[in-house]
Amino acid sequence: MRITYIHQYFKTPGMSGGTRSYEFARRLVERGHEVHMITGDPDSRHERVTRESGIVVHWLPVPYSNAMSYRRRIVAFLGFVRRSAVVAGRLRHDLVLATSTPLTVAVPGVYAALRRRAPMVLEVRDVWPELPIALGVLRSPVSRWAAQRLEAWAYRRSAHVIALSPGMAASIRRRFPGVAVTVVPNSSDLELFAGAGRAGASLRQRTPWLGDRPLLLYAGTLGPANGVDYLVRLAASLAGIAPDVRIAILGDGRMRDSIRDLAVESGVLNRNLFMLGPVSKAEVVAFFGACDLAASVFVDVPELGNNSPNKVFDAFAAGRPVAVNHGGWIADLITETGAGLVLPARDPAAAAVSVAGFVGDRAACRAAGAAAYALARDRFDRDLLFEDFERVLSDAAGYRGSGAAGRAGRTAASSRKIHISRAS
């Protein structure tokens, strides 16, 4: 197949951020498909084209950062719509794949699909606009109405929708019963994290503030929805009951300065809490290998429980337990399997007691780490989930592949579909 893949925030392993699109696109290339990726390049003023592991990447000069205000983000979204529609419209393809966020990627996706009379598959990483409405981002009746109209239009123009969690899929099916939806969650890269333990031990040896002390790691965006100030308050409580426990925050975003200010005010910055900035996907392996517990936190908004955070699956791949402070399918999974902790959303002091007790119990840490790795191996291995991903694209385009490899892939995908459905 010739696939035009539209993702405004495409990242390679040498960059900071999630690499789902890169990993799936390179696997598509390995299967013999031709993939053109259209993405934004916030650091350039000129359009350029590169080849990344066989993927033809069209980098468009669209300024964007997590630190932007919502108004500036909207401008960036619209700028990407305009530029990506031009590029996608001139490419020949059998299928268009558009992945949100933002949902505005559906606009160039639909345009390109109609222009070449090809189907479009839409991948949904957040249920939009349910989430921005819940977060108070879309406040006016007009903006909510426009967002809901865009959502309905995008789903109905899609041959198939891929949702990243069971909750997202359930929301779409409930409101749009005629839309075909398949769950393909974020995944664990077992190959990338195979040496996490050794890399983590090396990181500990060269990091004086860490050494052999217990480590709680947060690696991700520092945005308004993430609520990372929760970890600062947790650190303040840990300082009094388990001062050796270290918290490392890796990442950047709009709330970075306010989080740092709170850490200074609380007396924990560079004492038991350390803010290290973003690192590449390749570099983050060592931090997961060094940690005793990986955190995924959000503000207390129930809709966020439907998210599928990359950091959770990276922790599973490294065989590290996960602590969450929210409900939803990840919390249910942790409770069901014993792969970590579910912390109280509104009580960081009580959470600190749980974290201190957990990291102080080496047997409990080992058991939870083993459960986490079992999830990565048996239910979220990226190679297995790719089979589901490719099957959706192939079915939407009416492409069946050829030979034993194609038949084996479809058999594996069918098996995984049942397994994921049960996990949901």
DSSP string spanning 135-178? TTS--SHHHHHHHHHHHHHHHHT-SEEEESSHHHHHHHHHH-TT
- Same structural domain, 93 and 141: yes
Asked whether the predicted pLDDT for residue 372 surpasses 80, the reply is yes
Main-chain phi, psi angles of 213, to 5 degrees: -75, 155
Residue type, 113: A
Residues 356, 358: Cα–Cα separation, whole Å: 5
- Same structural domain, 177 and 299: no
142-to-9, 147, 151, 173, 287 alpha-carbon distances in Å: 27, 9, 14, 25, 44
Please tell me the least confidently modeled range out of 71-75, 146-150, 376-380.
Answer: 71-75
- What percentage of the chain exceeds 70 in pLDDT? 93
Asked whether the predicted pLDDT for residue 270 surpasses 90, the reply is yes
- Same structural domain, 213 and 272: yes
Main-chain phi, psi angles of 120, to 5 degrees: -120, 135
Backbone conformation region of residue 169, classed left if phi is above 0, alpha if psi is from -120 to 50, else beta: alpha
Which CATH number do you get for residue 371? 3.40.50.2000
Mean pLDDT in residue range 191-219:
97
- Same structural domain, 117 and 131: yes
Mean pLDDT in residue range 329-350:
97
The model's pTM: 0.90
CB neighbour class for 142 (10 Å; exposed up to 12, middle 13-18, buried from 19): exposed
Mean pLDDT in residue range 377-388:
97
What are 217's strand-pairing partners? 248, 294
Asked whether the predicted pLDDT for residue 405 surpasses 50, the reply is no
Residues 229, 393: Cα–Cα separation, whole Å: 40
Residues in the chain: 424
Residue type, 152: A
pLDDT at 419: 38
How does the average pLDDT of the chain come out, rounded? Answer: 91
Domains in the chain: how many in total? Answer: 2
Mean pLDDT in residue range 296-324:
95
Mean pLDDT in residue range 59-81:
80
Which H/E stretch holds residue 3?
Answer: strand 2-6
- Same structural domain, 37 and 161: yes
Mean pLDDT in residue range 204-218:
97
Asked whether the predicted pLDDT for residue 414 surpasses 60, the reply is no
Mean pLDDT in residue range 309-331:
97
Q: Quote the Cα angle for 126-132-136, to 5°.
A: 155
More confident residue, 362 or 140: 362
- Model confidence over 10-51: pLDDT tens digits? 999 999 888 999 999 999 999 999 999 999 998 888 999 999
- Same structural domain, 255 and 169: no
Q: Quote the Cα angle for 207-339-20, to 5°.
A: 75
CB neighbour class for 349 (10 Å; exposed up to 12, middle 13-18, buried from 19): middle
Q: Which of 203, 214, 348 is nearest to 279 (CA)?
A: 203
Mean pLDDT in residue range 222-226:
93
Asked whether the predicted pLDDT for residue 99 surpasses 90, the reply is yes
Which H/E stretch holds residue 51?
Answer: strand 48-52
CB neighbour class for 346 (10 Å; exposed up to 12, middle 13-18, buried from 19): exposed
- Same structural domain, 177 and 205: no
What confidence tier does 410 reach under pLDDT thresholds 50, 70, 90? Answer: very low
- Same structural domain, 363 and 414: no
- Same structural domain, 200 and 327: yes
- Same structural domain, 244 and 329: yes
- Same structural domain, 332 and 345: yes
Neighbours of 177 (CB within 10 A): 7
Residues 208, 49: Cα–Cα separation, whole Å: 42
Q: Helix (H) and strand (E) counts for the chain?
A: 16, 14
- Same structural domain, 397 and 359: no
Main-chain phi, psi angles of 155, to 5 degrees: -65, -40
Asked whether the predicted pLDDT for residue 193 surpasses 50, the reply is yes
Asked whether the predicted pLDDT for residue 406 surpasses 60, the reply is no
What are 123's strand-pairing partners? 99, 162
Residues 297, 324: Cα–Cα separation, whole Å: 6
| Residue ranges making up the domain that contains 335 | 196-378
pLDDT at 422: 31
Most confident of 7-21, 146-160, 331-345: 331-345
Residues 94, 102: Cα–Cα separation, whole Å: 23
What confidence tier does 66 reach under pLDDT thresholds 50, 70, 90? Answer: low
pLDDT at 268: 98
pLDDT at 409: 43
pLDDT at 400: 67
pLDDT at 96: 98
- What percentage of the chain exceeds 90 in pLDDT? 79
pLDDT at 128: 78
Asked whether the predicted pLDDT for residue 248 surpasses 90, the reply is yes
Q: Which of 413, 199, 165, 130 is nearest to 313 (CA)?
A: 165
DSSP assignments along 60-79, one per residue:
E-----TTS-HHHHHHHHHH
pLDDT at 244: 98
Per DSSP (E only), the strands in 68-143 are: 95-99, 120-124
Asked whether the predicted pLDDT for residue 416 surpasses 90, the reply is no
pLDDT at 64: 72
Residues 117, 71: Cα–Cα separation, whole Å: 34
Residues 231, 406: Cα–Cα separation, whole Å: 46
